[in-house]
Amino acid sequence: MKKKFWLTLYNIGVSILFLLSLYSYAKGMAGFSLFLALAVFGEIAARAFIECKYLQESPEIKEDTAYRITKVLRLLSEIILIIGVWRIRFK
């Protein structure tokens, strides 16, 4: 139960990080946007560690509804970030 809570909280936090990164990029805050981009790279490393450790130890977490919803939310936030940056850069 504790692992599921932390994984769900992790996915929500990453979703917020992606959307905040897009917002700061859109507002022209280059330094803050760069800091958030570095945090995204850290998130990729953390995700690899989490998936290697927690999800292999407890594969039933993947079946949990809250975890799946937050994972979809994270993926949706990633797509929004990519589309937002693409539209801003190519305006």
- Give 42-86 as a DSSP string: HHHHHHHHHHHHHHHH-GGGGG-HHHHHHHHHHHHHHHHHHHHHH
What's the number of domains the chain is made of? 1
For residue 27, the 8-state DSSP code is T
> Which amino acid appears at position 78 of this protein?
E
Q: Examine the pLDDT at 65 and tell me if it is beyond 70.
A: yes
State the DSSP H helix or E strand holding residue 34, giving kind and residue range, or none if neither. helix 30-57
Q: How confident is the model at residue 91 (pLDDT cuts 50, 70, 90)?
A: low
* pTM of the predicted structure, to 2 decimals: 0.62
Provide the domain limits for residue 75. Answer: 2-89
First to last CA, the chain: 46
Asked if residues 77 and 23 have their Cβ atoms less than 8 Å apart, the reply is: no
Averaged pLDDT of the chain: 76
The per-residue pLDDT for 49 is 77
